[in-house]
Amino acid sequence: MIPFNVPPRTGREEEYVAQAINSGKICGNGRFTKECTEWLESKTGCRRVLMTTSCTHALEMAAILADIKPGDEVIMPSYTFVSTANAFVMRGAVPVFVDIRPDTMNIDEQLIEDAVTPKTKAIVPVHYAGVGCEMDVILDIARRHDLIVAEDDAQGLMASYKGKPLGTFGAVGCVSFHETKNYSMGEGGALLINDESLIERAEIVWEKGTNRSRFLRGQIDKYTWVDCGSSYLPSELCAAYLIPQLEDADKINEARLACWRMYYDILTPLSEKGFIELPFVPKHCTHNAHMFYIKTKDIEERTALIAHLKEHDVMSVFHYVPLHSAEVGRRVGRFNGEDRYTTHESERLLRLPMYYGLKTEHIDEVCRIIADFYSR
């Protein structure tokens, strides 16, 4: 069987987790959390990193920091994971969905401005598959309309747009370390803070609404409840699991990119014959091989191909059901403009096995099974 995903692992995780256990400190914000934080700060160049229990929670922190109030509108793609919208809906916001570009599956930057109203508060671009959204255009719109940009960078660690790391363009960027992502601590994430003025409040929100971070730095002599907040700190056990992967980040990234290029090269003849479409990466984007997907003719062909792959013990998956068509999306959100590509493209997309440690003979086999499907 060729699984769709295998959680990343370097082989040193047990050693690090054992160190965390034996250190006598397993709650958050210890040595391993600090090491993750420092790695992310130096790798991305953002002003401050706060490790979190998930990307979902980093997005919730972003919504609090953006001061989202009931009735505020937040612009985002409909083609994304539920957390992108949920984090803002939980603060009473109306998600305003904008169509995607069919080439990158990212929000169509040319359609964003039309969705701006006096109630618009934020834009949440999602860097799908670790391919950057058109941040120059998005930041320009945000500047002119005084909007906050919070990047859903769940899939984008180690990827960049015009040479600058994803997650460092908006006021904040939200990273995921879920087991399906390139680097993982099981469940986990990080808030990358780029707007310096948000740092102090972010630390408070992160520490259950208290000024404990200032207390730990010796800036005040007791800490109290000063704002709303929650428990967003991951345990040291999780941070210890992540650290060896961050140490090996370049190696993991290279291995994933090699798999991606191999899929791309082997499947190119099928795409040239017009059977499938391959992913597109704009020249100014450096991606991180978060996923390899193909596009079939339509949903029926995709269903048949998934079954064909499964018959040959290859697991492939599709996503997302567009949020505007889901029960909650219909109730609390709205789609601005026409759904030209979101639904249509989402029904054609199929993700192939992609993980650190995927063997070249397995990629060969997956591609052979796909070619066999189209030769019939």
Ligand X SMILES: *Cc1c(COP(=O)(O)O)cnc(C)c1O
| Residue 84 touching ligand X (CB under 6 A) | yes
Q: Are 172 and 191 in contact (CB under 8 A)?
A: yes
Q: Which is nearer to ligand X, 30 or 189 (CB)?
A: 189
* Amino acid letter, 214: R
Task: State yes or no: residue 83 binds ligand X (CB under 6 A).
Answer: yes
Q: In sequence order, what are the residues at sequence separation of 6 or more whose Cβ sits closer than 8 angstroms to the Cβ of residue 351?
A: 4, 291, 292, 293, 316, 317, 318, 319
**In this complex, which beta carbon is closest to ligand X, that of residue 170 or of residue 275?**
170
**Can residue 152 be called a binding residue for ligand X (CB under 6 A)?**
yes
- For the segment 348-367, give every residue that binds ligand X (CB under 6 A): none
Q: Does 54 interact with ligand X (rule: CB under 6 A)? A: yes
Dump the DSSP string for 299-349: HHHHHHHHHHHHHTTB--B--PPPGGGSHHHHHH-EE-S--SSHHHHHTTE
Residues near 223 by beta carbon (within 8 Å), at least 6 away in sequence: 210, 211, 212, 214, 215
> Based on CB atoms, which residue is closest to ligand X, 210 or 235?
235
Q: Decide: 346 and 323 in contact? Cβ < 8 Å.
A: no
Q: Which residues is 123 bridged to in the sheet? A: 75, 149
CA dist 124 and 194 (Å) reads 15
Q: In the bound complex, what is the minimum distance in angstroms from residue 81's beta carbon to ligand X?
A: 4
183 binds ligand X (CB under 6 A): no
Question: Which residues, in sequence order, are bridge partners of residue 77?
Answer: 98
Position 55 contacts ligand X (CB under 6 A): yes
Q: Is 296 in the site for ligand X (CB under 6 A)?
A: no
Please, what is the minimum distance in Å from the beta carbon of residue 373 to ligand X? 27
Q: Which of 280, 296, 259, 262 is nearest to 374 (CA)?
A: 296
Whether the Cβ atoms of residue 334 and residue 97 lie closer than 8 Å to each other: yes
Residue 178 binding ligand X, by CB under 6 A: yes
Residue from the set 125, 173, 189, 329 that interacts with ligand X by CB under 6 A: 189
The size of the interface with ligand X (CB under 6 A), counted in residues, is 14
Interface positions, 110-149, toward ligand X (CB under 6 A)? 126
Q: Report how far residue 100's alpha carbon sits from residue 78's, in angstroms, rounded to the nearest whole number.
A: 8
x-marked contacts with ligand X along 12-51 as a string, rule CB under 6 A: ----------------------------------------
Q: Does 235 help bind ligand X (rule: CB under 6 A)?
A: no
Tokens of 118: 């006096």
Stretch that binds ligand X, among 12-20, 35-43, 78-86, 160-168 (CB under 6 A): 78-86
> Beta strands 73-77 and 94-98: pairing type?
parallel
Only segment of 35-43, 54-62, 165-173, 240-248 that touches ligand X (CB under 6 A): 54-62
Q: Mark residues 311-340: x for contact with ligand X by CB under 6 A, - for none.
A: ------------------------------
* Interacting residue with ligand X among 44, 120, 155, 253 (CB under 6 A): 155
In a 13 Å sphere around the CA of 290, the CA atoms on its Cβ side amount to: 26
By the rule CB under 6 A, 190 interacts with ligand X: no
Residues interacting with ligand X, by CB under 6 A?
54-56, 80-81, 83-84, 126, 152, 154-155, 176, 178, 189
